[in-house]
Amino acid sequence: MSRFSHFAAIDWSGAQGPRQRGIAVAICAADPVSGPALVRPGYIWSRQDVLDWLLHEMPPATLVGLDLGPSLPFADKGAFFPGWDRSPPDARSLWALVEEICADDPHLGAGSFVDHPEAARHFRRHGGREGDLFGGGRGRLRVTELAQQAQGLNPYSNLNLVGAAQVGKSSLTGMRVLHRVQQHVPIWPFDADPGTGSLIVEIYTSLAALAAGKRKGQTKILGPELDGCLARFACPPHVPLDGPYSDHATDALLSAAWLRLVHDRPMLWKPSGLTADLARTEGWTFGVN
């Protein structure tokens, strides 16, 4: 029997504004006869709404996957921001620094951090503004992202803030949520699994899509194919939506079922590339070997 009562997946968004159409929250019970369902279907979430749900409404003993990068590259250069005297020594200090600099940004935004004169040197931003320390190309990657590449995924640097596939803004806004939730819900691998209660992990929704039979580069799930993908996980159909299906909703629904399927595989909690230093600084994507 699983120690978790529920499995949730949250597709995140770093977009500006008070509410984000790119956020979706899905959940399924540990009981394998239950299919996944959206939390508040049709609702347009704010980032604060998600934080409140994590703190006050999430069922006890939920394993929740956040589709965002909880940290930045560190191992390749021995620092998040080489050359900056305020470069944090670990991920928790990074979250605190983002929160401090963005304290006046509304809606848990992170624009002030992106625009900070020292931090900005490390980001690729819109308008052809590439920091002199960005490094060119695809940008710096975390060790777990290099491992994602080896598994057939196509990760982007969390320091890249440009393009439809960029994940940097989601990561930075997510760090503000992690900073606020960390005293209430442990976050793996920065925290060890305590064995009871809820636990947060980083997920990459494309992992669930690949496991469901989608091909590399074509991992978006359309509404009509969702139940067929769930069946590959021996999962019953999802609770149908009244309105149109977004990529965010289908990603979250499939990922919640995937978490239920794979969460008890010991090797996923002890990936070969995860060291104590990485668990303190860069973190790791659950499901990446």
Q: What does the pLDDT look like over 89-125, one tens digit per residue?
A: 999 999 999 999 999 999 999 999 999 999 999 999 9
The label of the residue with tokens 């965002």 reads 68
Q: What does the pLDDT look like over 171-203, one tens digit per residue? A: 999 999 999 999 999 999 999 999 999 999 999
Residue 34 structural domain? 6-70+184-269
Q: Are 170 and 68 in contact (CB under 8 A)?
A: yes
Give the phi and the psi of residue 41 in degrees, each rounded to 5: -60, 135
Q: Are 287 and 273 in contact (CB under 8 A)?
A: no
The residue-averaged pLDDT of 49-73 equals 98
pLDDT reported for residue 163: 80
In a domain, 279, yes or no: no
Residue 165 confidence (pLDDT) above 80: no
The total of structural domains in the chain comes to 2
The residue-averaged pLDDT of 217-239 equals 93
Instruction: Judge if 145 and 11 occupy the same domain.
Output: no
Q: Report the chain's mean pLDDT, rounded to a whole number.
A: 95
In a domain, 215, yes or no: yes
Q: Determine which of 155-169, 245-259, 264-278 has the lowest per-residue pLDDT on average.
A: 155-169
The token duo for 176 is 């503000």
Q: Is the dihedral of CA 13, 19, 24, 27 positive or negative?
A: positive
Give the phi and the psi of residue 200 in degrees, each rounded to 5: -105, 135
Chain centroid offset of residue 91 CA = 14
Instruction: Judge if 112 and 234 occupy the same domain.
Output: no
Residue 218 confidence (pLDDT) above 90: no
In a domain, 151, yes or no: yes
Pairing of strands 124-125, 62-67: unpaired
Q: Are 20 and 177 in contact (CB under 8 A)?
A: no
In a domain, 283, yes or no: no
The residue-averaged pLDDT of 227-247 equals 95
